[in-house]
Amino acid sequence: MAYPAQTDYPTIIATAQRLIERDGVEQLALASLASELGIKAPSLYRYVANKTALLRGVVTVTIRQLFVAYDHALTNSAADAQSQMLAICHGHRQFAHAQPKNYSLALTAASDEQRADPASLVAMVLPVQAIMAQISGQDHSLAALRGMLGLIHGFVLLELNQQLQRGGDLSADFDLAVRSYLAGAAQLNTD
């Protein structure tokens, strides 16, 4: 059995994420997490007060990882705002496919106690909104960004839950939906 000092908060959260992907969030228990870490369950309380606090940590880290995926997507995109936003959207979808259960938890957390800190979310999303502002204009950037997030999140959740069953190439459909939305958002900038 490992000593509590041989674990740390990032390891606990990463292990919880792995267990959620493997077994689902409903199956995650502090006792099983402690066993996976090789420590006794009471040792976890040095790092997380309860399962709700643990899930909030998972949500917070998962959202940070999503924004890291955005940054990575941006490094491989062209410099214009349309290409950058398209890259972010594709990075979002790839991230959701890589961690579907953690993604779903993070973006559908029902209780305030499980959600990430709103101020940190705003800080992370402002650079993305600035890109959208180049497309839609500053006055429309928040609404356009919300619409974009709604589009990609809705598409991804339908896809992950196998609700898009009529055939076709879902990657091409996603790309077309995003490109169409961005073309419409660009029309706001001409008003």
Q: Which pLDDT tens digit goes with each residue over 30-67?
A: 999 999 999 998 889 999 999 999 999 999 999 999 99
Look at residues 97, 66, 113, 112 and name the one whose alpha carbon lies nearest to residue 171. 97
Task: Answer whether 43's CB lies under 8 Å from 4's CB.
Answer: yes
Count H helices and E strands in the chain, helices first: 9, 0
Position 191 scores a pLDDT of 60
Structure confidence by residue, pLDDT tens digits, 160-175: 999 998 888 999 999 9
Position 159 scores a pLDDT of 95
Position 119 scores a pLDDT of 87
Distances (CA, A) of 178 to 65, 79, 90, 120: 22, 18, 9, 26
Residue 5 pLDDT greater than 60, yes or no: no
Structure confidence by residue, pLDDT tens digits, 106-153: 998 778 888 888 888 888 999 999 999 999 999 999 999 999 999 999
Look at residues 56, 167, 148, 15 and name the one whose alpha carbon lies nearest to residue 93. 148
Residue 3 pLDDT greater than 60, yes or no: no
Structure confidence by residue, pLDDT tens digits, 93-104: 999 999 999 999
Residue 27 pLDDT greater than 60, yes or no: yes
CA angle 18, 57, 87 (to 5 degrees): 70
How far is Cα 54 from Cα 10, in angstroms, rounded to an integer?
Answer: 11
How far is Cα 129 from Cα 14, in angstroms, rounded to an integer?
Answer: 29
Residue 2 pLDDT greater than 80, yes or no: no
How many residues in total does the chain contain? 191
Position 184 scores a pLDDT of 95
Position 4 scores a pLDDT of 46
The structural domains of the chain, ordered by start, are 1-48 (1.10.10.60), 58-188 (1.10.357.10)
